[in-house]
Chain A
Amino acid sequence: MKGQSSVPQAGIESTLGDARLQLAIYTATGRLIDHRKKAVSEEALPDYQELRRIAHELKRHTIENLDYYLAQVERKVAERGGKVVYCEDGAEVSRFVLELARARGERLVVKSKSMTTEEIHLNEALESGQVEAVETDLGEYLLQLAHERPYHIVAPALHKTRYDVADILTGSLGVERETEPEKQTKIARGVLREKFLEAGIGITGANFVVAGSGAVVVVENEGNARLSSSAPRIHIAVAGIEKLIPRARDLAVFLKLLGRSATGQALSVYTSFLAGARREGEADGPEEFYLVLLDNGRSKLLADRDKRESLYCIRCGACLNHCPVYRKIGGHNYPWIYSGPIGAIITPQFHGVEQDPWLPFASSLCGACAEVCPVKIDIPKVLLKLRAEVTASGARGGTERRVFRVWAWVMAHPWWYGVLGKMAAALSPRPAGGGWVNKLPGWMAVGPLGSWLKERDLPPPAEQSFRSQWERRRRGA
């Protein structure tokens, strides 16, 4: 975990050089962009901007009074016959699950997709405690078989082709090779159906935790979260402490934004609002319900008024889809499971800015992420704050600081500015016919300047500098 990482040059280059992968990322994110665009259009959702504003305000209110709402949800869950379990980190979560499994004699856990449990490597921890944990979201299941981490918050197996999937299924399950997604899905359905009916414990994440209802809300399309939360005898929901919203009515705001921003759906296929265990008279459902509230670094993010906005995130993935950096380098070149712009702002805050000092700089600050964020997190602003922290920590930015110091001095000394400007123009290559500069003389193509110019063309230098033209004009020439 510790130790400073540098830009994963090799990984990025291999992603950029993989034409098939580039196409997969580009088409998948492109499709999600189109779907979202239609779903939040003026015709489809006229009050979209108003909803975003309210969602932001609601999140701000909840986060700023978080201890109040934590106490409330704890009380409410208990009233509904469930139990809240606070955990500091992943180790505590897996210890809790393992102890419960042991006490109840359960050996099989079915899991629905949850970034929070990915974050703490729950599956590995359970396996090493002799409890089998099976991912049941189709994409996550395939990745579990392939021993990989999710590529995208919403579309975890975005980077896999049907042929990759065929290899995974035949390799792990020994089934006949099948390359039709429909048939592949059937194979997985068959295997997982048995697991659902056999498992004693179901673990889900939570898209929202409704403090006033003591309820978790789980949003999905496949039905595996419904199964995980209703077929096994025990349901455990694992949520970060930031997932709280005040009241059930607030779902009218958040659900309208989540599905549309993630996949362009007005509502995802299944939205489960789950308040405690099965009650008297109910025919089925879990007998025990636990809500695990995980910190794992989140409380560290609260202190800074601007940066705490990062905790408003509802994990829709829209910022990934719209990010020119994510769309080129994909999900696996980010240092943590949270990729894209949201990953770039939360990873350094969870792990410390010293650990991945390059990450806040891996952005062109184009602002597309903030534009599409359904809860209006000002991601570029947080990136800039983190950059300042990285620079202040001395982990990065030494060269930049020196360059800008020289620049500032030159800008403050007009005579030197004129002389150096003339020198630069004289030295600059002038392609024949006045075209753009796309080749540099060897002596210039070195160091940071060289690598900066490698990917960029320059316009040819003007015949006359602005200053000399101005001078001439002033003299009335």
Chain B
Amino acid sequence: MREGARERILGRVRTALGRMPGEGAPEPPAYELVVRGPGPGPERVRLFVERFEALAGKAHMVGSAAEAGAKAREIVAGRSVVAVEHEVVRAAGVMEWDGDVRHGFATGEELRRACAECAVGITSTSYALADTGTLVAMAGPGEPRLASLLPPVHIALVPEAVILAGIEELLLRVPEPDEGTSSMVFITGPSRTADIEQILVRGVHGPGEIHAIVIV
């Protein structure tokens, strides 16, 4: 059955292209990744906030991790929370809140259940992209995939230092994303669909409400 499919397909490809088995390839076409837009600083933060909000995200600027915690708590308004094990989230004091705050899971199954049941997911972010208002979530020990996906509300804590100009700067800084993580996700606004009569509906499968608390 499938045995031999590889050889047959590669064989046809080589014949069609007139290439030999094991033949190398020239370098891919050269071009430069140009980083545009404001450099690090308040203007870049402003651009990120503007673009993030243009996509119906809600951005909040705070001066410290503690303030970020207070802001998050205000948004959560007593609802159940799943929080990721990340230093920024910890510094914001989320784990010390009283009420239903779940974190530090012994098994993947527990984590999964918490993400499926809680109203709000609080995460950090590996990077943010100013020109598209994007959060970049790289899965890792402190960054599960489901915390920013299953709860209907997502709150991301964004230290100013992780805000980059755009995708070019990200890929210059992390040219081989696969080396550090098995999953890098760009999140650009709340989950949405326009599949019925092109009418925009938010929160189809992912969060319909997304907040970025920028710590400057």
Residues of A within 8 A of B (CB): 24, 27-28, 31, 47, 54, 57-58, 61-62, 64-71, 76, 80, 85-88, 92, 95-96, 136-139, 142, 155-158, 160-162, 165, 181-182, 184-185, 188-189, 192-193, 196-197, 210, 212-215, 221-224, 226-227, 229-231, 241, 246-253, 255-256, 265-279, 281-285, 293, 295, 299-300, 302-303
Check if A282 sits within 8 Å of B140, measured CB to CB: yes
Check if B2 sits within 8 Å of A266, measured CB to CB: no
Q: A70-B13, A87-B2, A266-B132 are in contact. Are A162 and B33 (CB under 8 A)?
A: no
B125 interface residue per 8 A CB criterion: no
Check if A142 sits within 8 Å of B144, measured CB to CB: no
Taking CB atoms, residues of chain B closer than 8 Å to A65 are 17, 19, 25-26
Complex formed: what's the CA distance from A273 to B199 in Å?
28
Smallest beta-carbon distance B69→chain A, Å:
22
Instruction: Jot down 10 A-B pairs with beta carbons below 8 A, ordered by A.
Output: A62-B28, A80-B178, A92-B1, A221-B191, A222-B204, A224-B204, A227-B205, A231-B112, A270-B191, A299-B12
Q: A66-B13, A302-B17 are in contact. Are A92 and B5 (CB under 8 A)?
A: yes
Taking CB atoms, residues of chain A closer than 8 Å to B187 are 269-270
| Contact segment of B60-68, B87-95, B169-177 | B169-177
Check if A284 sits within 8 Å of B29, measured CB to CB: no
Check if B198 sits within 8 Å of A272, measured CB to CB: no
Smallest beta-carbon distance B51→chain A, Å:
8
Smallest beta-carbon distance A93→chain B, Å:
9
Q: A266-B188, A270-B185 are in contact. Are A54 and B5 (CB under 8 A)?
A: no
Check if B29 sits within 8 Å of A273, measured CB to CB: no
Taking CB atoms, residues of chain B closer than 8 Å to A283 are 105, 108, 111, 139, 141, 143-145
Smallest beta-carbon distance B109→chain A, Å:
10
Complex formed: what's the CA distance from A285 to B141 in Å?
12
Smallest beta-carbon distance B117→chain A, Å:
11
B77 interface residue per 8 A CB criterion: no
Q: A67-B17, A67-B23 are in contact. Are A222 and B141 (CB under 8 A)?
A: no
Complex formed: what's the CA distance from A132 to B156 in Å?
36
Q: A80-B182, A248-B171, A268-B188 are in contact. Are A213 and B176 (CB under 8 A)?
A: yes
Chain B residue nearest to A50 (CB atoms) is B31
Check if B204 sits within 8 Å of A138, measured CB to CB: yes
Complex formed: what's the CA distance from A267 to B108 in Å?
31
B38 interface residue per 8 A CB criterion: no
Complex formed: what's the CA distance from A61 to B143 in Å?
36
B76 interface residue per 8 A CB criterion: no
Complex formed: what's the CA distance from A76 to B186 in Å?
22
Taking CB atoms, residues of chain A closer than 8 Å to B23 are 67-68
Check if A248 sits within 8 Å of B176, measured CB to CB: yes
Interface residues on B, range: 35 or more
B96 interface residue per 8 A CB criterion: no
Check if B182 sits within 8 Å of A299, measured CB to CB: no
Check if A139 sits within 8 Å of B171, measured CB to CB: no
Check if A284 sits within 8 Å of B112, measured CB to CB: yes
Check if A285 sits within 8 Å of B182, measured CB to CB: yes
Contact of B193 among A92, A138, A276 (CB under 8 A): A138
Tell me the B25-48 residues at the A interface (CB within 8 Å): 25-26, 28-29, 31, 33-34
Complex formed: what's the CA distance from A116 to B25 in Å?
27
Taking CB atoms, residues of chain B closer than 8 Å to A302 are 12-13, 16-17
Check if B149 sits within 8 Å of A223, measured CB to CB: yes
Contact of B196 among A68, A87, A181, A303 (CB under 8 A): A181
Taking CB atoms, residues of chain B closer than 8 Å to A137 are 195
Smallest beta-carbon distance B25→chain A, Å:
4
Smallest beta-carbon distance A122→chain B, Å:
15
Check if B195 sits within 8 Å of A142, measured CB to CB: yes
Taking CB atoms, residues of chain A closer than 8 Å to B178 are 76, 80, 210, 213-215, 248, 273, 275-276
Taking CB atoms, residues of chain B closer than 8 Å to A279 are 181-182
Check if A231 sits within 8 Å of B171, measured CB to CB: no
Check if B149 sits within 8 Å of A227, measured CB to CB: yes
Check if B205 sits within 8 Å of A246, measured CB to CB: no
B190 interface residue per 8 A CB criterion: yes
Smallest beta-carbon distance A467→chain B, Å:
52
Q: A87-B2, A182-B201 are in contact. Are A58 and B29 (CB under 8 A)?
A: yes
Check if B198 sits within 8 Å of A28, measured CB to CB: yes
Taking CB atoms, residues of chain B closer than 8 Å to A157 are 195-196
Kindly list 19 other residue pairs between chains A and B, CB separation below 8 angstroms, not including A185-B204, A223-B191, A269-B189. A61-B25, A80-B178, A87-B5, A138-B196, A197-B116, A223-B204, A231-B146, A251-B167, A266-B132, A270-B187, A270-B191, A275-B182, A276-B178, A282-B144, A283-B139, A283-B143, A284-B145, A299-B13, A300-B12
Check if A68 sits within 8 Å of B24, measured CB to CB: yes
Complex formed: what's the CA distance from A189 to B204 in Å?
6
Check if B146 sits within 8 Å of A27, measured CB to CB: no
Contact of A222 among B29, B184, B191, B197 (CB under 8 A): B191
Contact of B206 among A31, A222, A256 (CB under 8 A): A222
Complex formed: what's the CA distance from A214 to B181 in Å?
12
Q: List 5 A-B pairs, minimum CB-CB distance, nearest first.
A: A223-B206, A275-B178, A139-B195, A302-B16, A65-B25
Tell me the B68-113 residues at the A interface (CB within 8 Å): 105, 108, 111-112
Taking CB atoms, residues of chain B closer than 8 Å to A299 are 9, 12-13, 16
Check if B171 sits within 8 Å of A249, measured CB to CB: yes
Q: Which of A68, A161, A210, A256 neighbours the largest number of chain B CB atoms within 10 Å of its CB?
A: A68
Complex formed: what's the CA distance from A230 to B105 in Å?
17
Taking CB atoms, residues of chain A closer than 8 Å to B175 are 247-249
Complex formed: what's the CA distance from A64 to B13 in Å?
9
Taking CB atoms, residues of chain B closer than 8 Å to A276 are 178, 182
Check if B167 sits within 8 Å of A252, measured CB to CB: yes
Q: A88-B9, A223-B191 are in contact. Are A282 and B182 (CB under 8 A)?
A: yes
B216 interface residue per 8 A CB criterion: no
Complex formed: what's the CA distance from A210 to B23 in Å?
20
Check if B5 sits within 8 Å of A86, measured CB to CB: yes
Complex formed: what's the CA distance from A268 to B191 in Å?
10
Check if A265 sits within 8 Å of B181, measured CB to CB: no
Taking CB atoms, residues of chain B closer than 8 Å to A214 are 178
Check if B149 sits within 8 Å of A251, measured CB to CB: no
Taking CB atoms, residues of chain B closer than 8 Å to A86 are 2, 5-6, 9-10
Taking CB atoms, residues of chain B closer than 8 Å to A268 are 188
